[in-house]
């Protein structure tokens, strides 16, 4: 019996914690969430209240107005959405094809090729940033959203996960489809992909999270607002010539993380399960 791990265990390894540890757990949780709570405080109150925690201090949306006016956040949102969607869709396609090949086809030197793919786990685009930048430049991809996403599309992690999943799908299903006269692509589309949906969901969420938050490579590749995503916009915002106004920076920070944070709070369970599933070896 091998049910995939569900998150809320009922009859499992379920011990009760002594009071001391409960307190410790709660204390740690408070410490952990505090910085974010503080950012909320700073963003919604005028600068004078940065360090004065008066409970009834006036709330203000001015910081957000300022932040919104000082940088084109709307465009940054658009760019980031486009980037994340594009990358994840492309990853699904490319990694599915490759994983399918590794799982079901007798390619010569398959194991060696798979090892080569796994190497990409360690040779990620940022470490080769100088050369990748030159290559992107040669391909005319500088300052484009494609340029930001392309190096990540062939993801060793994705290929690995999907290959793992595809291997568990029983051959009988495939045979049944072939009897009905499906070719390989149809088999892939009708049999394998639907059964791997949980993996896709998991991988998708992990990837969305990763690319929404990516900074170094987009920093190098983008030159202007045209293609700049939220993280780089925030970075540029927070390192100006004459210095920062903290309240505005807090507001800008919140603006940048809001979509992902809201999505996380709404879909907490799915998020956590994705990361869980993605890590199961």
Partner 1 sequence: MRSQFSCAMTAIAAALLGASHASANSVDLTMYYPVSVGGALTEVVDNLVEEFESEHPDINVEAIYAGNYDDTRVRAMSAMEAGDTPQLSVLFSIDLYELIEQNAIVAFDDLIETEEEQAWLESFYPGLMENGQLDGKTYGIPFQRSTIVLFWNKDAFEAAGLDPETPPENWEEMAEMAATVREASNGEQWGVMVPSTGYPYWMFQAFAFQNGHRLMSDDGTEVYFDDPAAVEALEYWVSLATEHNAMPDGTIEWGTLRQNFIEQSTAMMWHTTGNLTAVRNEANFDFGVAMLPMKTQRGSPTGGGNFYIFEDASEEEQRAAMTFIRWMTAPERAAAWSIDTGYMGVSPAAYDTDALQRYVAEFAPAAVARDQLEHGTAELSTYQGGRVRRALDNAVQAALTGQMSPAEALSQAQREADAALRRYAQ
Partner 2 sequence: MQLYGALLLLPAALLLSTFAYLPTITTVINSLFLPGFRGEPAAFVGLDNYRVLLDDPTFWQVARNNLLYALGTIPTSIALALGMALFVNGKLPGRGLVRMAYFTPTILPMIAAANIWMFFYAPQIGLFNKLLGALGFSGVNWLGDPSVALGSVIVMSVWKEAGFFMIFYLAALQAIPPELKEAADLEGTRRWSFFWRVTFPLLMPTTLFVLINALINAVRVVDHLFILTKGGPNNATNLLLYYVYENAFSFFDRTMAATITVVILLVLAVVATLKFTILDRRTHYQ
Among partner 2, partner 1, none, what binds residue 153 when CB lies within 5 to 8 Å by partner kind? partner 2
Measured CA to CA, the distance from residue 98 to residue 104 in angstroms comes to 10
38: nearest Cα among 23, 60, 53, 55: 53
With tokens 């927070």, the residue in question is 238
The only residue of 78, 86, 215, 270 in contact with partner 2, by rule CB under 8 A: 215
- In sequence order, the 6+-apart residues with CB closer than 8 A to the CB of 248 are 63, 66, 67, 70
User: 69 or 258: whose CB is closer to partner 2?
Assistant: 258
Which structure tokens are listed for 132? 């990748």
User: 72 or 86: whose CB is closer to partner 1?
Assistant: 72
How many Å separate Cα 121 from the centre of its chain? Answer: 16
| 90 secondary structure, DSSP code | H
Give, as ranges, the residues between 48 and 87 that touch partner 2 (CB under 8 A).
50-51
Measured CA to CA, the distance from residue 253 to residue 258 in angstroms comes to 8
Binding mask 98-117 for partner 2 (x = CB under 8 A): x-xxx-xxxxx----x-xxx
Minimum distance, C-beta of residue 66 to partner 1, in the bound complex (Å): 8
Check binding of 23 to partner 2 (CB under 8 A): no
| 57 secondary structure, DSSP code | P
Among partner 1, partner 2, none, what binds residue 162 when CB lies within 5 to 8 Å by partner kind? none
- Contact between 132 and 151 under an 8 Å Cβ cutoff? The reply is yes
Check binding of 140 to partner 1 (CB under 8 A): yes
| Total site size for partner 1, rule CB under 8 A | 28
Planar angle of CA 230, 235, 236, nearest 5 degrees: 100
Minimum distance, C-beta of residue 128 to partner 2, in the bound complex (Å): 4
The only residue of 61, 198, 238, 266 in contact with partner 2, by rule CB under 8 A: 238
Measured CA to CA, the distance from residue 82 to residue 78 in angstroms comes to 6
| 63 secondary structure, DSSP code | H
The only residue of 236, 260, 263, 276 in contact with partner 1, by rule CB under 8 A: 236
Check binding of 115 to partner 1 (CB under 8 A): no
Minimum distance, C-beta of residue 209 to partner 2, in the bound complex (Å): 6
The only residue of 57, 225, 260, 276 in contact with partner 1, by rule CB under 8 A: 225
With tokens 């209240």, the residue in question is 49
Instruction: Specify burial of residue 229 (Cβ count, 10 A radius: 0-12, 13-18, 19+).
Output: buried
Check binding of 231 to partner 2 (CB under 8 A): yes
Measured CA to CA, the distance from residue 43 to residue 247 in angstroms comes to 5
Among partner 2, partner 1, none, what binds residue 168 when CB lies within 5 to 8 Å by partner kind? partner 2
- Which range of residues in 57-65, 68-76, 170-178, 246-254 is near partner 2 by CB under 8 A? 246-254
Measured CA to CA, the distance from residue 85 to residue 94 in angstroms comes to 14
Among partner 1, partner 2, none, what binds residue 70 when CB lies within 5 to 8 Å by partner kind? partner 1
Binding site for partner 1 (CB under 8 A): 47, 66, 69-72, 133-134, 137, 140, 142-143, 220, 223-225, 235-236, 238-246, 248
């Amino acid at each position: 019996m091998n049910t995939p791990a569900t998150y809320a265990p009922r009859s499992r390894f379920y011990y009760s914690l002594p009071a001391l540890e409960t307190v410790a757990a709660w204390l740690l949780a408070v410490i952990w969430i505090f910085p974010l709570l503080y950012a909320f405080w700073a963003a919604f109150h005028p600068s004078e209240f940065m360090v004065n925690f008066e409970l009834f201090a006036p709330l203000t949306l001015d910081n957000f107005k300022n932040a919104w006016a000082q940088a084109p956040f709307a465009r940054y949102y658009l760019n980031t959405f486009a980037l994340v969607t594009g990358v994840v869709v492309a990853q699904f396609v490319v990694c599915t094809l490759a994983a399918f090949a590794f799982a079901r086809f007798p390619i010569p030197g398959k194991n060696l090729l798979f090892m080569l793919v796994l190497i990409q786990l360690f040779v990620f685009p940022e470490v080769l940033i100088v050369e990748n930048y030159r290559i992107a430049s040669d391909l005319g991809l500088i300052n484009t959203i494609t340029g930001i996403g392309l190096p990540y599309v062939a993801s060793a992690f994705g290929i690995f996960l999907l290959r793992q999943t595809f291997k568990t799908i029983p051959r009988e299903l495939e045979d049944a489809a072939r009897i009905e006269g499906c070719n390989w692509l149809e088999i892939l589309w009708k049999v394998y992909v639907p059964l791997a949906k949980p993996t896709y969901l998991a991988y998708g969420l992990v990837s969305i999270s990763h690319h929404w938050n990516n900074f170094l490579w987009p920093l190098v590749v983008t030159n202007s607002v045209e293609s700049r995503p939220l993280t780089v916009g925030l970075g540029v915002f927070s390192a100006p010539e004459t210095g920062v106004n903290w309240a505005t920076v807090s507001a800008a920070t919140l603006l940048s993380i809001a979509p992902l944070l809201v999505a996380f709070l709404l879909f907490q369970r799915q998020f956590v399960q994705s990361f869980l599933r993605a890590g199961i070896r």
